Amino acid sequence: MAIGELYDVVIDCPDPDALAEFYRQVVGGEIVDSDSEWTTLETSRGRVSFQRVDDYTPPQWPGQEHPQQVHLDVMVTDLDVAEPQVLALGATLLDGSDKPIGFRVYADPAGHPFCLVTN
């Protein structure tokens, strides 16, 4: 028996509102809570919150000098259709991720790695 259930995933970043809006456009949902330090995105499948961190240092991929800390996998139907859409929102395709089969790794606008994946 579990002690509890997953309630939220929290991601550190320099600008919670901007990063929440980036992910709202990628995965849908609604921003339900926002102040200068914390913003929450709620979707039909769960919630993700974004917390302001002063002097934020983004993770680096694939190295671990600045560990990934957390990343999200976003299921899509077609990588070639989804890629230009996330790039237009401010994502960056990461080196070493040039079109592997079934997934691609990007950095969000705050530098967190995330993957677009297919079945």
Query: What pLDDT is recorded for position 31?
Result: 97
Q: Which CATH number fits domain 9-55+68-117: 3.40.50.1260, 3.10.180.10, 3.40.50.720, 3.30.565.10?
A: 3.10.180.10
pLDDT surpassing 90 at residue 26: yes
In the chain, where the domains are located: 9-55+68-117
Cα 94 to Cα 96: distance, rounded to the nearest angstrom: 6
Q: CB atoms < 10 A from the CB of 79, how many?
A: 16
* pLDDT tens-place string over residues 78-113: 889 999 999 999 999 998 766 667 888 899 999 998
**pLDDT over 90 for what percent of the chain?**
55
pLDDT surpassing 70 at residue 3: no
pTM (two decimals) = 0.80
